[in-house]
Amino acid sequence: MEENIKRVFEAFSVEGAPVHADPIKTGHINQTFRIRTDEGGSYILQQINTDVFPDPEAVIDNKVRVAAHINEKRTHLSPADLERRALRFFRTRSGGYLHRDDSGGCWNLLNYIQDSRVYLRTPNATVAREAGRAIGRFLKDTEDLDPASLSVTIPGFHSMALRYAQFDKALSSGSDERRREAGDLIERALGLRSEMQSLERRISEGRIPTRVTHNDTKISNVLFSEEDEALCMIDLDTVMPGVVHFDFGDAVRTICNKGDEDERDIANVGFDTGYFEAFVQGFLGDSGIVLAPSEMEGLAFSSQVMTFIVGLRMLTDYLNNDIYFDTAYETHNLVRAKSQFRLAELIGERLGEMEAIVSRIRRRSSATETRG
């Protein structure tokens, strides 16, 4: 294993010597490794990308605080059960949770949950429902944590106005070739400017309560047991103040997509209504979350908005010559943007049906609450 990784691991206050470091490549921003020790221990070692997160201390502080808050609600579990369902951060030998290596790299270490797995794509409705339950539960568990006590580590992370401003800038500085290649998508983005900002208008009018949100609720950030029970939410890098729509919409973006986020064959991008129904059942029906009327309003629409905003960010990054998301090939960001825009379009065509599903499940679960 690489000498630097070994030294970084040894800076943390855990037992055992590191013997294997396996890269985990599902993220697009940070570097993550699974470390195995000679004593059979397993850990997740993560380097925070400081170009994206300029204040890594604040990122780690947010993560540690949110994890501890959730774990306080799990004290009824046995230690072994807790170990399987909770993220636990380890301190460095000098006391904090962040280690800076010799070249300024910022690292944190947490437990690796054994016999677990993640999905890049939803395999069946049970997984969609479980993912919904885990995401709803995350929001419920953090609803009594003051969102203002968390740092805003990426200001305007889900702000459509900001993402459009960044797109406009990239458009004026982008190369002719990339602008030509992305011509159709650019036209589409320009045409949707006002419609895609309507959720943000409601947020800025203060009509939707602020709560702690995860902000990256894609399917691969839900950890499953080998029996497909959702164990917990992982990747707490972007926990910040937000609104429920961010987490609901971003979850639907990946959970209900029949294709991959970077699907090259656009015909494979599809919206699975059955998975949507299962997801909503898990989120609203199984998690125990109770949403305010203003939080219920526009939930289905948030799926279109969050899918579109991710596509817009990928398109912007393509015009900027790929400076933000990791890419595996020349047109990777363009391919991603195309597939996300297509999915947003498909969601737009189904909004009526999706709203009816949300209302039906909401009515059913409030009837159960009243009876129970």
Q: Which stretch binds Mg ion (CB under 5 A): 70-78, 178-186, 189-197, 235-243?
A: 235-243
| CB 170 to Mg ion: min, Å | 22
Please tell me whether residue 338 binds ligand GN1 under the rule CB under 6 A.
no
* Cβ(47)–Cβ(35) below 8 Å: no
Q: Which residue, judged by CB position, is nearest to Mg ion in the bound state?
A: 216
Which helix (H) or strand (E) element contains residue 48? strand 42-48
Q: Which stretch binds ligand GN1 (CB under 6 A): 21-29, 138-146, 171-179, 364-372?
A: 21-29
| CB 247 to ligand GN1: min, Å | 11
Please tell me whether residue 235 binds Mg ion under the rule CB under 5 A.
yes
Q: What does residue 230 show for φ and ψ, rounded to 5 degrees?
A: -70, 125
Q: Measure the CA–CA gap between 320 and 304, rounded to whole angstroms.
A: 24
Please tell me whether residue 235 binds ligand GN1 under the rule CB under 6 A.
yes
Give the x/- contact pattern for ligand GN1 in 286-325, rule: CB under 6 A.
------------------------x---------------
Short-list 351, 349, 324, 350, CA closest to 336: 324
Q: Which of 130, 216, 295, 317 binds Mg ion (CB under 5 A)?
A: 216
Please tell me whether residue 250 binds Mg ion under the rule CB under 5 A.
no
* Cβ(359)–Cβ(297) below 8 Å: no
CA 182 to chain centroid, in Å, comes to 26
Choose from ligand GN1, Mg ion, none: what does 174 bind? Cβ within 5-8 Å by kind. Answer: none
Backbone dihedral region for residue 18 (phi beyond 0: left; psi -120 to 50: alpha; all else: beta)? beta
Choose from Mg ion, ligand GN1, none: what does 28 bind? Cβ within 5-8 Å by kind. Answer: ligand GN1
Q: Which of 29, 118, 162, 346 binds ligand GN1 (CB under 6 A)?
A: 29
Choose from Mg ion, ligand GN1, none: what does 130 bind? Cβ within 5-8 Å by kind. Answer: none
For the chain, give the number of residues: 372
Please tell me whether residue 339 binds ligand GN1 under the rule CB under 6 A.
no
Angle between helices 160-173 and 299-319 (to 10 degrees): 20
Alpha helices, DSSP H only, in the chain?
A: 3-10, 56-72, 79-85, 125-141, 160-173, 176-181, 183-191, 193-196, 198-204, 244-255, 273-280, 293-296, 299-319, 332-349, 351-371
Please tell me whether residue 262 binds ligand GN1 under the rule CB under 6 A.
no
Q: What is the 3-state secondary structure (H, E, C) of 203-253?
A: HHCCCCCCEEECCCCCHHHEEEECCCCEEEECCCCCCEEECHHHHHHHHHH
Q: Measure the CA–CA gap between 163 and 173, rounded to whole angstroms.
A: 15
Q: How far is CA 76 from CA 71, 85, 157, in A?
A: 10, 12, 35
Residue type, 156: G
Please tell me whether residue 261 binds ligand GN1 under the rule CB under 6 A.
yes
Give the x/- contact pattern for ligand GN1 in 42-71, rule: CB under 6 A.
----------x-------------------
C-beta of 196 vs 361, nearer to ligand GN1: 196
Subset of 13-52 contacting Mg ion (CB under 5 A): none
Q: Is 345 exposed, middle or buried (0-12, 13-18, 19+ CB in 10 A)?
A: middle
C-beta of 271 vs 365, nearer to ligand GN1: 271
Q: Which stretch binds ligand GN1 (CB under 6 A): 27-35, 125-133, 264-272, 354-362?
A: 27-35
Give the x/- contact pattern for ligand GN1 in 164-203, rule: CB under 6 A.
----------------------------------------
Interacting residues with ligand GN1 (CB under 6 A): 27-29, 52, 216, 218, 235, 238, 261, 310
Binding footprint of Mg ion on the chain (CB under 5 A): 216, 235, 237
